[in-house]
Chain A
């Protein structure tokens, strides 16, 4: 008979080895899956995981795609450490795009060279504003932030639609739902490129700086310590006099602000205007990125790149290997399955047990 029992302590090495092992197992499973489907597994895996990395342009696209994922996940991870479950980064991202983009549309000529910094600032403020609503409801009325932050995402989508189909519509756009291009209004709204001839802009470098800052914040600051303690041992934190209300506000505003910045970087960067669909679900995917990265800044950078690669690889597989789009979903599902399975085995051991008397078998 098999019995599952917790390990006394999970080894740190195992904690970091499991995600790597999960990736390897995903690729191995994928290999056999392709074999069963009658597809050349090497060519398919090459199209998915290697060809996106085989050129400078491919790498720049990977960084571009990973930017909003990493930015959102950085904020979310700090909240998750404190047990604050902000599920609405997608909505906060949209509000950031609306606030920052609004500055670009209406005030950028007056701001001159300050346009882009002010847009970034308002992007952050927009995301914070949207995150402040669940924070207020949670701290004042005890409303579950998972529900409110998630539901506000749908409100954000409607706010965006109302603006883009209504007052913000490009007057020269034949009634189609999109605003003017920011660069047509003021050249100072453009984010400078990090690599010429690509779409990769300085927002990526800013993101890496923010990740480094977040790392210092969590590991070195007193507030970062409080965040960790509240997440790990709420009673001990209360006993030590740490204010849970303050931490909820702090982590919600931080994660909302970073999501808002991600939204602004999308509209001011590769999109160039405000359109009805700004993000294909970056705010939600970032939740997976945060957990895949063990809520650790370095881990979630790696996880962000991995998720970005799975999206781009899925597109490549369709073009180069004629595989269906569902391949992307299957691979992401496999990856999560193996991460959870490896995690489980890192924390529990399975034993051949003697028949136990008077003991429940889980």
Chain B
């Protein structure tokens, strides 16, 4: 698309009989880099989108006048995303972050039409010369949570609320289960799918059903704080998701996996400003601070805290990998050989379940 669009101020100015704005604005070194963010949810979701927006604000705080950010929230995954992206690219944004898997194809299509604009797509796997991908190693946080659950669960049965059976979610369930079984070999996970990333009603119902079946700890891969509130009401325990949810469960929250996107946003915006940006896949975790653990809650015993800290430190040091073989799936097939650790590719395509996970496995 190479059509001429009149500057907005010119049209307005002419309409009002005021002085016309300059016809064209030349980009100079002093101009800030415009960074755009496309969100799938509202910035008030207390989870996924909220944390991306915190990252955006971190970026503004860190780089000040050198960047100018804008965001579009609640963008549906579908044809609308393409229009929003094009709008951002046309209005002078030099770097655009698309923060949901469903934006992948739209990001690639618009990127082809705007080769000078840099795009970064979260959680996807397709890249292009001006499209990079990024994600965080949340499974590392799941291993820390699983360790706590192994020490603190009385029934040995943990409820897990899943969104959709994609590799990201499967990876988290398996990492959690393996870590828990290291402490308590008979531990089992009851998995329930709610087919949504954010549906407080369904999530609360799932939590109730799982607690009724004897689970005493709740883990979730959905975005709302409803399961945490259920755990608090019943005097049981839960892990926060995406953000510290201790406000919703001051006694129930054991810890939470906190998404911390700020460092990545700052690093990549700097790279564009310095002219060193290149398409790449970024997958950082606890060691780089993209995944953080919330402070332990009141129910965490000193023994459990020490074990969890050890796992966290091991992952940061590189001495411990949550997927270290031998790992056999539920069908008895060896997925990771003894002594080996899962490669990034194996994890990114994970579609098998470790023994001890129960439920409708997709």
A contacts, CB < 8 Å to B: 42-43, 46-47, 50-51, 54-57, 61, 64-65, 157-158, 161, 165-166, 174-177, 197-199, 266, 269-273, 275-280, 311-312, 315-316, 318-320, 322, 324-325
B337 to A: closest C-beta gap in Å: 21
Assess A174 versus B362: contact at CB under 8 Å? Given A319-B88, A325-B72: no
Q: Is the CB of B5 within 8 A of A55?
A: yes
With contact pairs A318-B72, A325-B73 given, residues A199 and B79 touching in the complex (Cβ less than 8 Å)? yes
Cβ < 8 Å to A, chain B residues 107-136: 125
Within 8 A of A (CB), among B13-72: 16, 36, 42, 70-72
A104 shortest CB reach to chain B, Å: 16
Q: Would A166 and B83 be within 8 Å (CB), given that A271-B78, A318-B72 are in contact?
A: no
Docked-complex contact A51 and B105, CB < 8 angstroms: no
**Complex contacts, A166 vs chain B, CB 8 Å:** 362
Q: Across the two chains, which residue of chain B brings its CB closest to A161?
A: B195
Q: Are B6 and A176 in contact (CB under 8 A)?
A: no
Residues of the A chain whose Cβ atoms lie less than 8 Å from the Cβ of B235? none
Partner of B8, one of A51, A177, A199, A275: A51
Q: Are A165 and B72 in contact (CB under 8 A)?
A: no
A271 to B79, CA, bound (A): 6
Instruction: Say yes or no: A174-B125 contact (C-beta < 8 A), given A271-B79, A319-B91.
Output: yes
In angstroms, Cα B87 to Cα A55, docked, is 12
Known contacts A175-B166, A319-B88, A325-B42; decide if A42 and B82 are in contact (CB<8 Å): no
A324 and B165 alpha carbons, distance in the complex (Å): 32
B165 touches A165 (CB 8 A): yes
Which residues of A lie under 8 Å from residue B16 when comparing CB positions?
42
A176, A272, A325: which contacts B101 (Cβ < 8 A)? A176
Q: Given the known A-B contacts A57-B3, A158-B195, are A280 and B76 also in contact in the complex, defined by CB atoms under 8 Å? A: yes
- Chain A residues with CB below 8 A from B350, complex form: 175
Are B80 and A315 interface neighbours, CB within 8 A? yes
The main secondary structure of chain A at its interface with chain B is helix
Check B3 against A56 for contact (C-beta < 8 Å).
Answer: yes
A20 CA / B102 CA spacing, docked (Å) = 38
Query: Closest residue of chain A to B195, judged by CB?
Result: A161
B11 sits at the interface (CB 8 A): yes
* B167 at interface by CB-CB < 8 Å: yes
Do the beta carbons of A316 and B12 come within 8 Å of each other?
A: no
B164/A315 in contact, CB under 8 A: no
* B1 adjacent to chain A (CB < 8 Å): yes
Q: Judging by beta carbons under 8 Å apart, are A197 and B91 in contact?
A: no
CB pair A55–B3 under 8 Å, yes or no, is yes
Given known pairs A54-B11, A57-B3, the reply for A315 and B78 (CB within 8 Å) is no
Q: Are B11 and A177 in contact (CB under 8 A)?
A: no
Residues of A contacting B348 with CB < 8 Å? 174
Q: Which single member of B3, B72, B91, B166 contacts A176 (CB below 8 Å)? A: B166
CA distance A278 to B362 in the complex (A): 21
27 A–B contacts from the bound complex (CB under 8 Å) = A42-B12, A46-B8, A54-B8, A54-B11, A55-B3, A56-B3, A64-B79, A165-B166, A174-B348, A175-B166, A175-B167, A176-B166, A177-B166, A198-B1, A199-B82, A273-B105, A275-B78, A276-B77, A276-B102, A277-B76, A277-B102, A278-B78, A312-B83, A318-B70, A319-B72, A319-B91, A320-B91
Q: Is B71 in contact with A318, judged by CB distance below 8 angstroms?
A: yes
How long is the Cα–Cα vector from A19 to B262 in the complex, in angstroms?
47
Q: Is B84 an interface residue (CB 8 A)?
A: yes
Query: Which residues of the partner chain B approach A266 to less than 8 Å between Cβ atoms?
Result: 78-79
Top 9 A-B residue pairs of the complex, sorted by shortest distance between their CB atoms? A280-B76, A270-B79, A318-B72, A325-B73, A175-B351, A325-B74, A277-B77, A175-B167, A174-B349
Q: Is the CB of B36 within 8 A of A57?
A: no
Q: Is B83 touching A61 in the complex (CB atoms < 8 A)?
A: yes
| Apart from A174-B348, A175-B170, A319-B72, 14 more pairs, CB < 8 Å | A50-B11, A54-B8, A65-B80, A165-B165, A175-B166, A175-B167, A176-B101, A271-B79, A273-B105, A280-B80, A318-B73, A319-B36, A324-B73, A325-B72
CB distance from B216 to the nearest CB of A (A): 30
Question: CA separation between A266 and B82, bound complex, in Å?
Answer: 13
Give CA–CA (A167, B163) in the complex, Å: 18
B77 touches A315 (CB 8 A): no
The residue of chain B having its C-beta at the shortest distance from the C-beta of A315 within the complex is: B84
Query: How far does the alpha carbon of A198 sit from the alpha carbon of B83 in the complex, in Å?
Result: 11
Say how far A69's CB is from chain B's closest CB, in angstroms: 13
Say how far A171's CB is from chain B's closest CB, in angstroms.
11
Contact of A280 among B11, B42, B71, B78 (CB under 8 A): B78
Asked if B12 contacts A46 (CB within 8 A), the reply is yes
CA distance A174 to B78 in the complex (A): 20
Out of B42, B87, B165, B351, name the residue touching A316 (CB < 8 Å): B87
B167 and chain A: residue at smallest CB distance: A175
Within 8 A of A (CB), among B313-362: 348-351, 362
Residues of B within 8 A of A56 (CB): 3
Bound Cα distance A57, B86 (Å): 10
Residues of B within 8 A of A311 (CB): 80
Determine the residue in chain B with the shortest Cβ distance to A51.
Answer: B8
Per-residue A-contact encoding for B262-306, CB less than 8 Å = 1, 0 else: 000000000000000000000000000000000000000000000
